[in-house]
Amino acid sequence: MKHIVHFVAATSLLLVAGLVEASGNPSRGQELSSQVCASCHGVDGAMALAEEYPILAGQHRDYLVMALKAYRSGARDHAVMSSFARNLSDQDIDDLAVWFSRQDGLGELTFD
């Protein structure tokens, strides 16, 4: 029984630590996005400036993290995005992902 209690306590601490670390800083994400992302995806990611640029606002946080890391590593190939993502730290990616995921956007789209 003692081992089970220790396992549950250790697992809980790891989960909480992971949640805190993975939460990102939306204010910093907003600042980072205004420096580069806004030029193609719009100020809050909801108004792409051309049809080929995706709407980022309201996108799932985990998807944004995965996509940015794939651009950064070269696993996902796009000349512009890869060059921007190459210089992003894991913290930058978390901050951007939490910022865009909290914006209104994808949930408000309707298709006729």
At 21-39, the pLDDT tens digits run 458 999 999 999 998 899 9
Residue 19 lies in a domain: no
Residue 18 lies in a domain: no
Q: Is the pLDDT of residue 18 over 50?
A: no
CATH number at 83 reads 1.10.760.10
CA distance linking residue 86 with residue 23, whole number of Å: 21
Q: What is the pLDDT of residue 11?
A: 53
Determine the 3-state secondary structure of 102 from DSSP.
coil
Residue 16 lies in a domain: no
Domain of 73, in residue numbers: 25-106
In this structure, how many other beta carbons lie within 10 angstroms of the beta carbon of residue 51? Answer: 6
Q: Is the pLDDT of residue 1 over 70?
A: no
Residue 11 lies in a domain: no
Residue 2 lies in a domain: no
Residue 74 lies in a domain: yes
Residue 111 lies in a domain: no
From the list 10, 27, 18, 13, the residue with the least C-alpha distance to 62 is 18
Model confidence pLDDT, tens digit, residues 48-88 = 889 889 999 999 999 999 999 999 999 999 999 999 999 99
Number of domains in the chain: 1
Residue 67 lies in a domain: yes
Q: Is the pLDDT of residue 104 over 70?
A: yes
